Structure 1
Amino acid sequence: MSMEVVNTLGRRKAAVARIYMTPGKGEIVINNKPLEVYFTTGVLQYTATQALLLTNQLGKFDIKVNLDGGGVKGQAEALRLAISRALCEIDAENRSVLKANGLLTRDSRVVERKKPGQPKARKRFQFSKR
């Protein structure tokens, strides 16, 4: 915890989270808004702070976040990855707990592109023999 500022990046789908983590009172500010204002539902708030809860670090760091792109769920998951990576930089002992819960894996699944001559990515137009 001797580090002053930890700067990490987390991505999910089209969402990108850049975080600046400093030792403090546990304030999380996302795009100049508190966590509770930015993520209104409890599920999204839990997702964003899951790494801190698992490592018992919830009130120990102030986190400033720049979130961009994607939807609210993708943004929450991008933030979770960024916080997980920062916690590993601060203390390597956190790694085993976070890895066991799958929080250090970058979920690379993205929407498949629509192909020409088809209504959607995999759906085909109805076949007519005659």
Structure 2
Amino acid sequence: MKKIINSSGKRKTAIARAVFKPGKGRVRIDKVPLDILRPELARLRIMEPLLIAQYTFDKDYLKGIDIDVNVRGGGFMGQANAVRTAIARGLVEWIDDIEERSQLKSAFLEFDRNLLVNDMRRKEAKKFGGRGARARKQKSYR
């Protein structure tokens, strides 16, 4: 039986959907290999769950997994954070052994809680009487 796992991650208005399937260890974001993804800051952010998984276990799980991620909405950093959440969730779900799964989950949570939990913070809506959500026009008495 071929194992295929779907996972998702969100950050601000960015939504990432990841598909995990048996393969050669390729990671692609919007059909672009992770190795050549730009900007570099976003690439390093996306690689965090992969590196943590690699250091948590001696054996290399990532060699047999192909990860394809589609991401929409938001800016490049919001997208990067959504992708890393989707990848981390998928890696946890991929592992069959319950003890190893909990070990990886605790390693992710220890590093950064947002690897497994979506960041639900959103931009506050603009209100009337000013330029933004909280800023107001000054009142003059003379």
Output the CA distance in 2 between the equivalents of 1:7 and 1:107: 19
- Which protein has the bigger helix share? 2
Give the alignment's TM-score, normalised by structure 2: 0.81
- Percent sequence identity is 38
Structure 1 residue 100 and structure 2 residue 110: aligned? yes
> 1:10-58 CA distances to partner (integer Å, 9 max, x unpaired)?
0000000001012322212222222244x31222111112101001055
Instruction: Look up the SS of the partner of 1:55 in the other structure.
Output: helix
Q: Which runs of 5+ in 1 are unaligned?
A: none
| One-letter code aligned to 1:52 | L
> 1:65-98 CA distances to partner (integer Å, 9 max, x unpaired)?
1111011100010000001111111222310100
**Farther-moved stretch of structure 1 (68-77 vs 15-24):** 15-24
Output the CA distance in 1 between the equivalents of 2:2 and 2:121: 33
| One-letter code aligned to 2:137 | F
What are the equivalent positions in structure 2 for 1:8-27 lying under 5 Å apart?
8-27=7-26
Structure 1 residue 120 and structure 2 residue 132: aligned? yes
- Pairs aligned (count): 128
Q: Which runs of 5+ in 2 are unaligned?
A: 55-60, 96-100
Structure 1 residue 111 and structure 2 residue 109: aligned? no
Give the alignment's TM-score, normalised by structure 1: 0.88
Q: Is the 8 A contact 1:6 1:90 kept in 2?
A: yes
**Consecutive aligned runs of 4 or more in structure 1 exceeding 3 Å deviation:** 57-60
Instruction: Look up the SS of the partner of 1:67 in the other structure.
Output: strand
Q: Is the 8 A contact 1:3 1:90 kept in 2?
A: no
What are the equivalent positions in structure 2 for 1:42-53 lying under 5 Å apart?
42-53=40-51
| One-letter code aligned to 1:35 | L
| CA distance 1:58–1:129, change in 2 (3 Å) | farther
Output the CA distance in 1 between the equivalents of 2:41 and 2:63: 19
| One-letter code aligned to 1:87 | L
Q: Is the 8 A contact 1:25 1:59 kept in 2?
A: yes
